[in-house]
Amino acid sequence: MILEKEKEMMLFGLPPERSSFKGVGLFLFIYLGATLFASILTPPAYWAIEWLHSVSPSETTTWLLGKHIDVYYDRLRWAPIILGFPWMMKECGLFSLSNLGMKIGARPLVSFLSFFAFGILLASAIFGLQWAFGVSSPDKTFDASTLASVILSALSGALTVALLEEIIMRGLIMRSFYTAIGPISAVVLSSLFFAYKHFKVPDCVWDKLPGGGSATWDIGFFVAWYDTVGIAYEFDFPKFGGLFMFGVFLCLLYIKTKSLWPCVGFHAGLVFCLMVYRKTFDITSDGPREILGGAGMTDGWLALAVLTAMCAALLLPSGRGADSDDARAS
């Protein structure tokens, strides 16, 4: 059953009756270490760009100096994460595509493409309703001749985001909690973390930061603090709930199929449609925006209801051993 421990989802080759917090410990070590790393190195990174601009000004240095200090913090935090998670994958025994649930073949490709199309259809339906009810309108300044480049950029961005987030969030974090405390808690905790991390440093805190957010020696720690508690400044239940249920759906899909490809496909389809939509449509203040959401798609009550129904559908028992067939296809 989908909410009982299964050997295929356990890390370290453990049987379902065993538990291990090693994966959770590795994740916390990397996450907290990356936070400390970025907190310390954010000011020197900004100072280095300032120095480079003073000796050799360019459009690039001007552009970089125009970024908020939290952008430097966010990018620096990714450095130890990118280096650390491959090590965590090795420690967890997930360097194998088979163990991760990412086998290469015809059936996984069909699964990926099917869910990619499903993601596009779902996002298009919600965005279509937004347009029909006046929540959005076509961007009159959009140059139609750039549509091909917009589509290609959105496709590459969506695939990158989906691959990284699914490998890290579902492949590593969810399975670490799964091995430690079981499937139900793993789905809930990893999905809560997934939703929480989509809330960034809010704009309203810039007057609270030293020097208005300039690169003082301790600014990285202030940014880390507001990155941690920023959700309290801009909490929105439909948005948080939609992201949470999106995470739950992807977790359940992974557990049910034993493959990350459907998750990557669905995630990429949604993000692809979202990226194209943001480039070609404007969100207005008219219409039932609270119900239909905005450019984020998951920030309305409709998306929350649809995703909840999709999760309920995955929890229904499947017949004729469909789960095991999907597992072999992964």
Residues 267-308 have pLDDT tens digits of: 999 999 999 999 999 988 777 888 999 888 888 999 999 999
Question: With bands split at pLDDT 50, 70 and 90, how would you rate the model's confidence at 329?
Answer: very low
Average pLDDT in the 146-165 region? 95
Percent over 90 (pLDDT), the chain: 68
| Long-range CB contacts for residues 2-8, cutoff 8 Å, separation at least 24 | 2/183, 2/252, 2/255, 2/256, 2/314, 2/315, 2/323, 3/183, 3/184, 3/315, 4/183, 5/178, 5/182, 5/183, 6/255, 8/258, 8/327
Whether 207 has a pLDDT exceeding 70, the answer reads no
Q: Which residue, among 202, 197, 279, has the nearest Cα to 243 in the 3D structure?
A: 197
Q: Is 55's pLDDT higher than 70?
A: yes
pLDDT of 127: 93
Lowest mean pLDDT among 113-122, 226-235, 249-258: 226-235
For the chain, the structural domain boundaries read 20-92+208-232, 101-199+235-330
Per-residue pLDDT tens digits for 62-97? 999 888 888 899 999 989 988 888 899 999 988 889
Q: What's the pLDDT score for residue 213?
A: 56
